[in-house]
Amino acid sequence: MSAALRVGLVGYGIAGAVFHAPLIASNPGLELSTVVTRNPERRAEIESRHPGTAVVDDVPAMLARGDLDLVVVASPNRLHVEHTTEALRAGLPVVVDKPFAPTAAAARELVAEARRRELPLTVFQNRRWDNDFRTLAGLIDAGELGRVHRFESRFERWVPRPKAGWRESGGPEEAGGVLYDLGSHLIDQALALFGPVASVYAEVDARRPGSEVDDDSFVALTHVGGVRSHLWVGKFTAQHGPRLRVLGDRAGYTKFGLDPQEAALRAGELPGADWGVEPEHLHGELGTVEGSAPVRTEPGAYPEFYDLLVTALRDGAPLPVDPSDAIAGLEIIEAARHSATKAEVVHLT
């Protein structure tokens, strides 16, 4: 068997500690070799959870070790471009947490840099491996909904007071707020399911007292193929709507509740038997007003991202996420912000 690919993880905040480190450490094809963080508490946590992993203060110190096969960038959004560029210039493949970059232009520059150097570059759009998304994709492929005409999707949370940190403060260069954070996922899912977008309308608001960034946003997409996607993201939602409601000319599919994988990872669980399986009472309903029935939810499968990545790096298979998809998502986020500011529809085609 080939030796495990040695991974350098940049950042050990929520993205690094909750998602990347556990998924890397539990993958037999990967080794969590080095983590970049200056935070003393986080350094102590790494030593406890990932003994044997080196901890360094910055990206140059990580790259100077000269022993890596892959870099995962999970630093604050404003640093994604800087850290990804450093890794590419060191000759290393890179995974970038979403959002790929603060702007579509910066994202295009990263893709061009990777192509010039003939290095793999991909984006951690893990919500493509959510249980509800996997289930819906299967239903659509099987023709169970007929021709879909409306896709409604929500990530709604109840956090009535803003928290400290870059995600909920700062200017546009921070790429904070729910549109970049949660909206990146919903837009990516809509594009993956229904293809390119012709026009964008959005309402982007900061509703909580003291909020410096958007915390309640709505985006309406008209896809080139005719499907309309209505996407809600918010942290000031006292009652939550369905996670998904998808309507076709044959049936609809409605699903409440969030994929259990994030909660499991936050609780310190690692992928294993029955990973990503949710209880039956959370299964979605398929049908019409004349009658519907529960549909078993496909298990969530975040580990598949890194499984596919290992295969891509070893065998030249396709990367788990094409970075051009992330560019398209950022173009929509920029169009949405323009739409909200000007109160107008933005046409992309």
Q: Is the bond preceding 99 in cis, omega lying within 30 degrees of 0?
A: yes
CA 120/CA 184 separation, integer angstroms: 21
In the chain, the N- to C-terminal Cα span, in Å, equals 49
- pLDDT tens readout for residues 125-152: 999 999 999 999 999 999 999 999 999 9
Helix (H, G, I), strand (E, B) or coil at 316: coil
Closest to 99 measured CA to CA, from 68, 116, 135, 74? 74
CA 347/CA 85 separation, integer angstroms: 32
At which residue do the structure tokens 């107008």 appear? 344
**Lowest mean pLDDT: which of 52-66, 85-99, 170-184?**
170-184
Under a CB-based contact definition with an 8 Å cutoff, are residues 202 and 245 in contact? no
* Mean pLDDT, rounded, of the chain: 96
- Per-residue pLDDT band for 183 (boundaries 50, 70, 90) equals very high
- Per-residue pLDDT band for 175 (boundaries 50, 70, 90) equals confident
Tokens of 199: 């026009």
pLDDT at residue 167 in the model = 76
Q: What is the architecture of the domain spanning 5-124? A: 3-Layer(aba) Sandwich (3.40)
Tokens of 260: 């259990």
pLDDT at residue 212 in the model = 86
Helix (H, G, I), strand (E, B) or coil at 124: strand
Interval 256-284 mean pLDDT:
96
**In the predicted structure, residue 169 carries a pLDDT above the cut 90:** no
**In the predicted structure, residue 349 carries a pLDDT above the cut 90:** no
pLDDT at residue 188 in the model = 98
**In the predicted structure, residue 1 carries a pLDDT above the cut 70:** no
pLDDT at residue 168 in the model = 75
Residue 24: CB partners within 8 Å, gap ≥ 6? 7, 9, 30, 31, 32, 72, 306
pLDDT at residue 86 in the model = 98
- Per-residue pLDDT band for 302 (boundaries 50, 70, 90) equals very high
- What's the CATH superfamily of 127-301+331-347? Dihydrodipicolinate Reductase; domain 2 (3.30.360.10)
Residue 218: CB partners within 8 Å, gap ≥ 6? 202, 203, 230, 231, 232, 233
Under a CB-based contact definition with an 8 Å cutoff, are residues 138 and 145 in contact? no
pLDDT at residue 181 in the model = 92
At which residue do the structure tokens 């819906």 appear? 136
**Which residues in the chain are classed under CATH 3.40.50.720?**
5-124
pLDDT at residue 248 in the model = 98
**In the predicted structure, residue 313 carries a pLDDT above the cut 70:** yes
pLDDT at residue 2 in the model = 72
Share of the chain above pLDDT 90, in %: 93
- pLDDT tens readout for residues 88-128: 999 999 999 999 999 999 999 999 999 999 999 999 999 99
- Per-residue pLDDT band for 297 (boundaries 50, 70, 90) equals very high
pTM: 0.95
Beta sheet of 252-255, edge-to-edge order: 291-295, 284-288, 252-255, 244-248, 148-156, 228-234, 216-223, 197-205, 346-347
